[in-house]
A and B are shown apart, each in its own frame.
Chain A
Amino acid sequence: QVQLQESGPGLVKPSETLSLTCRVSGDSIKSFYWSWIRQFPGKRLEWMGYVSDIGPGRSNYNPSLRGRISMSLDTSKNQFSLNLASVTTADTAVYFCARGKASPYEWGPGTLVTVSS
């Protein structure tokens, strides 16, 4: 069974870039879709986007984040990454990585990222 583990800074300053990595074990990241989802302090869930090495549409992002978000795959390390630029306190959330395109079916445990000066 695949295991996912998020890692990255737990504290980011406003206006900086949030960078997280999801290490995947138990399966190759090739030929699958991988997503990031975040959960705000009030428990609301937001799908952020997906990345894959499949076909021409290798990434797709939530329009609410367009311009600030990018995702990438590192097949040599079997991991994928999230970058979210120009963060504000509204980006404080638990960030989850997951397997799946629009229907995430295996999730990492999540990592809390707080945006604060």
Chain B
Amino acid sequence: DVHMTQSPSSLSASVGDTITITCQASQDIVNSLNWFQQKPGKPPKLLMYGASILETGVPSRFSGRVAGTVFTFTINGLQPEDFATYFCQQYDNLPPTFGGGTRVEVK
């Protein structure tokens, strides 16, 4: 299985801050990576696929990049509704595997 190492596991930030989350894949997955947002009691919501392509309706303050096997997810100008848990997920190889999640909390 492809192992996804996501960091940090949690972070504290304020509205307006820029935050970055990283996922490293244990092997080459090209750009076959999703980013999900999950709020308490809700299912994960797909924000981004192909490492950097925003789903329809997702604000442009969300962005993604890839450099080799390291994927970064950035929120520029954190909004109140962005406090949530974020997961990466690779879909290049079966079984698809998820990162451990990053909880973004209010500072």
Contact = CB atoms under 8 A, between A and B. Distances in A.
- Interface size on B, as a range, is 20 to 34
Interface of A: 43-47, 49, 60, 62-64, 96, 98, 102-105, 107-110
Nearest to B9: A43
Given A43-B85, A45-B87, A47-B96, A103 B34 contact: yes
B98 A45 contact: yes
Interface of B: 1, 32, 34, 42-46, 49, 55, 85, 87, 89, 91, 94-98, 100-101
Most chain B CB within 10 A, of A43, A49, A62, is at: A43
B98 A47 contact: yes
Nearest to A44: B100
A49 B94 CA distance: 9
B52 to A, nearest CB: 14
